[in-house]
Amino acid sequence: MAIILRLDRVMADRKMSLNELSERVGVSNVNLSKLKTGKVSAIRFSTLEAICSVLNCQPGDILEYVPENIPPQ
C-alpha cells in the first residue's frame, strides 16, 4: 500500500493510549486499532479531523505517501 499510517507514532509522542484517544475522539477502540495498524481502506475526514484535533497534529503527521515502486527506508 502506498499510504502508510503513522497514528501509533503520533500517539506515542503524545503519550496517549488507544483507550484515551477513543474516548476523546468518539470512535470505537476496534476502529482506531484498525486505523493504527493500517488495516483500513478508508477514513472519514470528520474522523481524521477529530484525531488531529485531539492529538494536536496535522493529517500529514498521521498519513505518509510512499510510492510503491520505491522500497521504504
CATH number at residue 18: 1.10.260.40
Instruction: Say if residues 4 and 33 touch (Cβ distance below 8 Å).
Output: no
Asked whether residue 73 is domain-assigned, the answer is no
Helix or strand (DSSP H, E) at 12? helix 7-13
Closest CA to 16 of 51, 59, 42: 51
Asked whether residue 70 is domain-assigned, the answer is no
Asked whether residue 22 is domain-assigned, the answer is yes
Asked whether residue 25 is domain-assigned, the answer is yes
Asked whether residue 72 is domain-assigned, the answer is no
- What's the gap between Cα 45 and its chain centre? 12
Cα separations (Å) of 37 from 5, 18?
A: 7, 12
For cell 486505523, what's the residue? 35
- What's the gap between Cα 29 and its chain centre? 13
Number of domains in the chain: 1
Give the predicted TM-score (pTM) of the model: 0.85
Asked whether residue 39 is domain-assigned, the answer is yes
Render pLDDT for 16-68 as a digit per residue (tens, 0 to 9). Answer: 999 999 999 999 999 999 998 888 889 999 999 999 999 999 999 999 998 88
Residue 39 gets which letter from DSSP? -
Asked whether residue 71 is domain-assigned, the answer is no
